[in-house]
Structure 1
Amino acid sequence: MHPTNIAMISDFFHPNVGGVENHIYMLSSYLIRRGHKVIVITHSHPPDRVGVRWLLPCLKVYYIPFPAIASSATLPNFFTFMPYFRNIVLREHISLIHAHASLSSLGHEGILHAHLFGIRTVFTDHSLFGFADAASILTNKLLAGTLRNVDAVICVSHTGRENTVLRGELYHQVGDDPKSIMVNDNVYVIPNTLVADQFQPDPDFVEPPGQITIVVLARLAYRKGIDLLVATAPRICEAFPQVKFRIGGDGPKLIELLQMREKYRLQDRIELLGPVRPTDVRSVLTKGSIFMNTSLTESFGIAMLEAACAGLYVVSTRVGGVPEILPQDMISFANPDADDVFRAIEEAVKIVSMGRHDPLRAHARVKSFYDWGAVTERTERVYDSVLKSESRSLQERMHRTMQLGLFAGPIYTTILIVECIFFLFLEHFWPREDIDYVTQHWDDRNLTKFDSGQADYMPSVAEAQDTSRPA
C-alpha cells in the first residue's frame, strides 16, 4: 500500500486511557512506522488540553474546543464541527478518515462530512450494544445513518461483527425473497491486540505457601458485572481460605464493594487498590495467579488478554466476543450468574493449585497469537481496498439515506442537503487559498530508534502521555 494521509477521529483519546484510546494510539504508531502520515482529531480536555499537541513517536493530535458531556463523549454538533473538520483535513492533505466507537459524535460527523472533500471513510466499532432500551435504540439509529454511506466497517470480534451488522443495518436483500439477506462485503473482522513484551510475567514472583491471589481490574460499573463480583467474593473467600482478592479500578460500584467487604469482615482478604495507572497494570497483574472477569457484555476484552499475557489463568463470563480471545485451556468460562461464576473459580483454583498452568508458556502463546504488526497489515489491506473502490455520488448517498425509514430517512437526508449548502457557504466565505497548509512534515529520520534494526520498541499510550507538548 502506498503511503497515505490518515485522520483518526474519535471522542475517546489521550489523556483518557482505555481500550479504544490505546487501540487508536497503537494503530496510529504502527501506521506511522510503516510510512503513513497519521493525525488524530478529538475533543478538548480542560483546563488547557486544546489546540495541537504531539505524542511519541510523531503523532499530531488536534484537540477541538468541544467539551465532553458524559463518559468523555461530546454532544452531536454536526454543522458546528464542519469548519474545524474542513480546515484540518485540507491543511493536512487527508485522503482517508478512520473513525472509532459508536458513541463518538466526532467520529459520526467525520464520516458524514468526508464525502464533500472526496475523502474515503472507515469505521471501527469497539463495543456491543443492545436493542431494547431507549439509549440503545437512539444510538443504533444514529449508527445506521452514519454507516449507510461508509466505505468499510471493522469489528474487533466476530460477535461484535454480528452485533454491528444488525445495529447498523449492514446487509442487503438477495433476490426477491425479503427473508433472504446477505451481509455487506465491506464489513471486516480485525481483532484487538497488545504489545506482549509490555506484559511479561515476573519470573521472581512466587505466591506465599498455600495462597492464591485473584486479580480483578475493571471499571467498577454495572456493565462490568461488579454485582456478580459482590455476590460471589464472600462465597469464594469462605470456601477457599487460601484465596485473596486484589481489585483495581474505580466507578459507581465501589461503594457496594466497600460495603460487602465491611459486612463480611474481609478487609484482610480483599484489597481495593483504587484507580490503577496504565503503567502499573503489569505490576498489579504479576502479583496474582488468577484473573477474574465478570462482565455482562464485552466485545473483545483486552484486559483478559493482558492478564493471560502476564501469566495469569483467566476466569470469565461467557459473553460477547470473550470466547474468541484465548484457547480453551487458558480460560474457564461461566454463565453470568453467581453459582456458575463460583464453579468456574473453583475449577481455576484447582488448576493453579495443581501446577497445571505455566505462566511463561502462557505468555509465549499469547505473544505468538497477537501482534500489532499483523493487525496493522490487515488494516492496511482494508484501507487499500477502500481507496481502490469507486466512491458514491451525492445522488446515490441521498437515495441510500432515504432507505433508513419513514422518519429517519427524511431527517438524515435533510441533514445531508443542509450539510452541502453549509459546505458551499464555507467554500465561498473561507476560500481554500486562505488556509494555512502544512508543507513541512516530520522527518522520518527521527524514527530511527524505532526501526527494527536498532530497537523493536514502540511506546504505549501511557508512556507517550508524559511527552505530550503543544505544537
Structure 2
Amino acid sequence: MAPTYNIAMVSDFFFPQPGGVESHIYQLSTKLMDRGHKVIIITHAYKGRTGVRYLTNGLKVYHVPFFVIYRSTTFPTVFSFFPLFRNIVLRERIDIVHGHASLSSLCHEAILHARTMGLRTVFTDHSLFGFADAASIFANKLLKFTLSDVDHVICVSHTCKENTVLRASLDPLMVSVIPNAVVAENFKPPSNPSEVSGGGGPGPGSHSFSQPAPPARQLGPHETITIVVISRLFYNKGTDLLTAAVPRILENHPNTRFVIAGSGPKSIDLEQMIEQNVLQDRVEMLGPIRHEEVRDVMVRGHIYLHPSLTEAFGTVIVEAASCGLYVVCTQVGGIPEVLPSHMTVFAKPEEDDLVAATGKAIAALRANKVRTELFHEQVKSMYSWTNVALRTERVYNGISGAISEAEFYGYDAANAASWSATRGRSGVQSFALIDRLKRYYGCGIWAGKLFCLCVIVDYLIFLFLELWFPRDKIDICPDWPRKTVSERKEPGVR
C-alpha cells in the first residue's frame, strides 16, 4: 500500500484572492486529499477571514494574522512566525512542508523553520525572474538561501526550471517539472448562442471523442468578434502593451470589441485610453472578478488575448482554450510549452507584432480555418489535476525514501558515487546543524555568513520553544476520515 502523508501547503497567495498560484494550491490539495493524504493550508489573514477555516472536502486553512505589504505578501520577519508555525505543525502532525511562490515570505520562512524541526520540504516555483535589476538580484539571493536546504524543487514549466536552476545554483536533478492543470468541466464552451457576445450561429457544445465532433461554427463576415482579456493589470502582465494595442486593433477591424476583466494599478491607463479614443461602446471594463466567474466572461468571446511580458506557465490561456477561444499570446517564458500550435497565435512582446498577430487570428476565424469547438476535449485530455497530484505524490515518495534514490532521480550506477558524494543521500538531506551550515556557507562571501547566522538563531529559538513549550502540552487535532484504498483508485489512472 502506498504511504500517505500529512502535508502543509504554505504560501502568502491563497483564496479568497484569485490567481493562478491560489488555484494551483487549492486544486492540488484537493486531489492529494482524494489520494488519501492529509493536507492543510497556511496563509495570511484576509479582511473578514482570520483563524481556521474549512473548505470543500475538509481542507483546513490557517489564516495567520501577519502584516501584509505589497501584492498580498506578508512583511518578512524571519523568526517571529516560528512559534505559531511550530504549534500548527505539531498539532497537525505534519510530515512534509510544501511552499509555493518565490515572493512569498511565509513560504521561505516556513521552509527554514521546517528544516530546523527536522521535516521534509518541497518548494514549487511559479514565476520567472531576471538577473540584472536590483529587485531580481535580491529575490534570487533569497531563493538561493531557501533552496540551499530544501529536499526537492518543482517548477511549472521547463523554462521555469531552467530559470530556477540558474537563479538558485541548483543541480538540475533536484528539480522536477510538473505543470499546472485545469478542471476542464468548469471551463466548457457555450452550449447556446445566447452565451456568446455577438451572437451569430449555434454555439459549440462539449463532447467526447467517442461521439461525433460538433459542427464547425460559421462566423459571418460582419459578425462582431469579441476579444477577451482577463488579467491582473500590472506591468509584468503586459498592460502597457495592451493599452497601446487596443485602439489599433479596433481601428483595423471595425466589427470587433474588447471585454477586459481584472484590477491593478494599470487599470487607470486603460480607462484613460478608452476616454481619449472614445471607445466606451467597444471596450467593456468589468473590474475584478471571482475565479468562478472566469468561464462566464470567457464564453462571451471568440479570441483570448494574453499580452504578458513574463510568464512561467499561464494557466489562464489553458482555461481560455478549454472554453473554445482562439488564443493570441506573447511568446515569452513557458507559454510556448502550454498549448499546441493550432490553438494559438504567437507574437513578440511588441506593440506592432501583437496587433499583427491579433489581426491574423481574426482573419483565421472569419475564414473558418480554426475548429475552436474541438479545443475543449483536446485540453481535457492534456491537462488533469489528478495527474499533477500523482506526480507530486511521487516527489513526496522520493524525498521520504518510499522509492529508491536511483529510481526517483533517474541516474545510473555509474553516476551514483559522484551524486552521493555531492549530496550525501540525494534529496534526503541531513538535518544535522553542521551539515546545514556547510550548505549555507557556500552561498557567498558575505551572504553565506549571514545565512549561517540566521540558521543558528533559528535553531536556538527552536531549542527555547522545545524547552519552554514542550510538545506534550500541545493538543493534537483529530483528522478527517481519509479515503480508503479502493476510493483512491481513480478511473483512467494507471
CA offset at residue 397 of structure 1?
1.1
8 Å contact kept, 2:117–2:462: no
**Within the alignment, does 1:427 sit opposite 2:428 as a pair?**
no
Deviation track 1:62-105 (CA, whole Å, cap 9, x = no partner) reads 11121211111111122111101111111111111100000111
Deviation track 1:298-329 (CA, whole Å, cap 9, x = no partner) reads 11111111101100000001010000000011
Inter-CA distance 199–74: structure 2 relative to 1 (3 Å threshold): same
Which consecutive segments of 4 or more residues in structure 1 shift more than 4 A? 448-453
Partner of 1:279: 292
Partner of 2:414: none
Partner of 2:142: 142
CA offset at residue 160 of structure 1?
0.6
Inter-CA distance 224–445: structure 2 relative to 1 (3 Å threshold): closer
Deviation track 1:340-365 (CA, whole Å, cap 9, x = no partner) reads 11110111011111112223311111
Inter-CA distance 83–341: structure 2 relative to 1 (3 Å threshold): same
Partner of 1:294: 307
Deviation track 1:11-30 (CA, whole Å, cap 9, x = no partner) reads 11122121111111110000
8 Å contact kept, 2:126–2:156: yes
- Secondary structure of the equivalent of 2:57? coil
Partner of 2:151: 151
Which of 366, 379, 389 is matched with 2:392 structurally?
379
**Within the alignment, does 1:19 sit opposite 2:16 as a pair?**
no
Q: Match of 1:41, as an amino acid?
A: I
8 Å contact kept, 2:36–2:483: no
Separation in 2, partners of 1:405, 1:53: 41
Partner of 2:422: none
**Within the alignment, does 1:414 sit opposite 2:453 as a pair?**
yes
Inter-CA distance 230–53: structure 2 relative to 1 (3 Å threshold): same
Report matched runs for 1:51-450 at 5 Å. Answer: 51-171=51-171, 183=172, 185-205=173-193, 207-208=199-200, 209=220, 210-388=223-401, 390-392=428-430, 393-438=432-477, 440-444=478-482
- Secondary structure of the equivalent of 1:409? helix
8 Å contact kept, 2:33–2:482: no
Inter-CA distance 95–450: structure 2 relative to 1 (3 Å threshold): closer
CA offset at residue 214 of structure 1?
0.6
Number of equivalences:
440
Inter-CA distance 449–413: structure 2 relative to 1 (3 Å threshold): closer
Separation in 1, partners of 2:327, 2:77: 42
Deviation track 1:361-405 (CA, whole Å, cap 9, x = no partner) reads 111110010001111101111111011153313211101100000
Inter-CA distance 450–212: structure 2 relative to 1 (3 Å threshold): farther
Deviation track 1:410-455 (CA, whole Å, cap 9, x = no partner) reads 00000111111111111111111111122x2113479x999969xx
8 Å contact kept, 1:312–1:359: yes
TM-score of the pair, normalised by structure 1? 0.90
Inter-CA distance 445–394: structure 2 relative to 1 (3 Å threshold): closer
Inter-CA distance 449–255: structure 2 relative to 1 (3 Å threshold): farther
Deviates most, 391-400 or 55-64: 391-400
8 Å contact kept, 1:228–1:337: yes
Deviation track 1:155-199 (CA, whole Å, cap 9, x = no partner) reads 00011111111111113xxxxxxxxxxx3x110100011100100
- Secondary structure of the equivalent of 1:197? helix
CA offset at residue 6 of structure 1?
0.5
8 Å contact kept, 1:315–1:348: yes
Q: Match of 1:390, as an amino acid?
A: V
8 Å contact kept, 1:221–1:252: yes
8 Å contact kept, 1:202–1:286: yes
- Secondary structure of the equivalent of 1:379? helix
Q: Match of 1:223, as an amino acid?
A: N
Pairwise CA RMSD? 1.9
Report matched runs for 1:36-55 at 5 Å. Answer: 36-46=37-47, 48-55=48-55
8 Å contact kept, 1:141–1:168: yes
Separation in 1, partners of 2:483, 2:388: 24
Deviates most, 190-199 or 201-210: 201-210
Q: Match of 2:40, as an amino acid?
A: I
8 Å contact kept, 1:248–1:275: yes
8 Å contact kept, 2:35–2:483: no
Separation in 2, partners of 1:297, 1:390: 33
Deviation track 1:236-291 (CA, whole Å, cap 9, x = no partner) reads 11111111111111111111111111222211111111112212111110111000
Separation in 1, partners of 2:238, 2:316: 14
TM-score of the pair, normalised by structure 2? 0.86
Partner of 1:463: none
Q: Match of 2:154, as an amino acid?
A: I
- Secondary structure of the equivalent of 2:179? coil
8 Å contact kept, 1:201–1:359: no
Separation in 2, partners of 1:303, 1:382: 26
Q: Match of 1:200, as an amino acid?
A: K
Deviation track 1:194-230 (CA, whole Å, cap 9, x = no partner) reads 1001000002125345211111111111111111111
Deviates most, 154-163 or 350-359: 350-359
Separation in 2, partners of 1:451, 1:315: 38
8 Å contact kept, 2:33–2:483: no
Q: Match of 1:353, as an amino acid?
A: R
Inter-CA distance 337–7: structure 2 relative to 1 (3 Å threshold): same
Q: Match of 2:177, as an amino acid?
A: V
